[in-house]
Structure formats: C-alpha cells, structure tokens
Amino acid sequence: MMHSMEAFFEENIWVLIVLSLWVLPWKGYAMWLAARNSHKKWFIALLVINTLAVLDIIYIFLVGRKAAKKMSGGDTGMTA
C-alpha cells in the first residue's frame, strides 16, 4: 500500500504542489489568528494536526472570528 502511494506522488508531483498551495495560506492565516487571539491550544493543534486545511478553515470561520469580535468589542451598532 505505502509503495503504491509513494509511486503515485513520484509520478504526480503536481498533486503535492497543488495541495501545498491550498494548505499553506489557510494554515498560515489560522495560526496567525490563533496567536493574535492568544489561543495557545488551538495554535498547537493547528501546527501539529494536518487535515488538508479543514481544521484551519473551521478555526478561522467559527472560532477565531468570534474571539476577535469579542476582543474588539463586537458590533458597535454604528453605521458609516
């Protein structure tokens, strides 16, 4: 099984490149957001666990933005 997977990636290096281009921006932003929000446990989880950006996207849209809104005072109700 492992040999066939290695052979696949050796023959299709573009798959690794595309996956890297997908994962790195999400992971970078999620880790930056976790650090900014002082979420040490999330930062470590995002660093260690590789889910092809699924965990990173969940953190960004569900956890990180809510924490950022709380820290900044949320919606002030003022309009421009």
State what percent of residues in the chain have pLDDT above 70: 88
Quick check: helix, strand or coil at residue 60? helix
Domain boundaries, the chain: 23-80
36-57 pLDDT per residue, tens? 999 999 999 999 998 999 999 9
Residue 71: pLDDT above 80? no
- pLDDT confidence bin for 34, thresholds 50/70/90: very high
Query: Cα separation of 45 and 31, whole Å?
Result: 9
- pLDDT confidence bin for 80, thresholds 50/70/90: very low
Q: Is the pTM above the cut of 0.75?
A: no
CA angle 2, 22, 35 (to 5 degrees): 105
